[in-house]
Structure 1
Amino acid sequence: MEYAGKVIETVKHIRETRLSRLRPLNEFFDHHRLSRPSDMNEATSRITYNTRHFSGNYGVVVAVLSVYALLTNPFLLIAIAVIVGGFAAVQRFGADPLQVGEHVITQKGLYGVLVVVGLVLFWIAAPLSILFWLVGSSTMLIFGHAALIEPGVESEYAPVEEV
């Protein structure tokens, strides 16, 4: 019960802090403000401003890409399920040592087997390739969007608001 309360509090905190920064979709996808930056300085200033301005939207983009990456690699989902389920099963049923023939299997031994099995499953599922794909695709999408969207009129007054 206490764990569920912590999860609910965490979700409320995320909703209040991160999701409050979401900009409307018509502002995020405003094709009237699309233009190619004239030079690298303008691109850098656009990226700097837009990454702060659209930070909530970019977080959603990363989350959607993460879910997509997990759903397109079913073996990774299976590996995660086996590891999480295995830890839950060992925690619940493996507290007492188990006598099998001449061998005594302890909770520590079960965790050791689970770690070895988990490492083999993760080696086959290649989560690092998904991580690198996620970093690369997120970076390209976010920086591309941030560089191509012209900041609004409010960007001229942003330094005044921060003071």
Structure 2
Amino acid sequence: MTTSYGTIPTSLPPHGATSTNLEYISRAKDRIKAGLATRRPWKILFDFRSLKLPSSLSDAISRIRTNIAYFQLNYAIIVLFILFLSLLWEPISLIVFVALMAAWLFLYFLRDEPLVIVGRLIDDRIVLIVMSVLTIVLLLLTNATLNIVVAILIGVVVILVHAALRKTDNLFLDEEEAAGLIPGGAAVGATSSS
């Protein structure tokens, strides 16, 4: 006689619906992890020993370009966080912002198969353009225009100031990143002598 203490009887889901949902959730987790893997460690971003005034305008511009290429996901998170904080006192705008973030996740970031609408394949660039326009229009329609514009401007200023002050001599990009984002395709440490 066998016992089955502690087991919970289960039935098979109709047509594999649950297994499909679990696969989608698993793929979504993997894509989020892969996307966040490009984020640089925060302790490197906030290394105060690496802050120094640039020696010239061209040095500042070079630092800004290099730091934005290196810390792009960190900077995007900072701007989104500042925008989120600015919308805390505008509950309708905050709800719209959260709904739009969910739409971005499902329609753009977490999608691993091409988007097909009415039998037509939709290019990722079109999804990006439509979602960007939709985001801007819907947020501006929530009567929080001033909050949104000020938050984005504050985020841009914070990023530009940090990028101009942060030395780049200890940052190294991967070969693909360096070839596409930094002029000349060299490692960051070799392009700057701050």
Distance 1:71 1:151, change over 3 A: same
Cα offset for 1:14?
Answer: 3.6
Equivalent position of 1:160 in the other structure: 186
User: Does 2:164 correspond to 1:138?
Assistant: no
Distance 1:66 1:154, change over 3 A: closer
User: Does 2:31 correspond to 1:13?
Assistant: yes
Instruction: Give the alignment of 1:22-61 within 5 angstroms.
Output: 22-61=39-78
Percent sequence identity over matched residues?
A: 24
Preserved contact between residue 20 and residue 56 of structure 1 (Cα < 8 Å): no
Q: In the aligned structure 2, how far is the partner of 1:59 from the partner of 1:73?
A: 21
Q: In the aligned structure 2, how far is the partner of 1:60 from the partner of 1:153?
A: 22
Find runs of 4+ consecutive structure 1 residues off by over 6 angstroms. Answer: 1-5, 78-81
Unaligned runs of 5+ in 2: 1-17, 99-139, 179-184, 189-194
Q: In the aligned structure 1, how far is the partner of 2:147 from the partner of 2:26?
A: 29
Give the counterpart letter for 2:155 in structure 1.
Answer: S
Q: In the aligned structure 2, how far is the partner of 1:127 from the partner of 1:141?
A: 21
The size of the alignment, in residue pairs, is 121
Over alpha carbons, which structure has the higher Rg? Answer: 1
TM-score, normalization: structure 2? 0.50
Which of residues 81, 97, 102 is equivalent to 1:64?
Answer: 81
Unaligned runs of 5+ in 1: 82-121
Higher relative contact order (CA 8 A, sep 6+): 1
Structure number with higher helix proportion? 1
Instruction: Give the alignment of 1:77-156 within 5 angstroms.
Output: 77=94, 125-155=142-172
User: Does 2:91 correspond to 1:74?
Assistant: yes
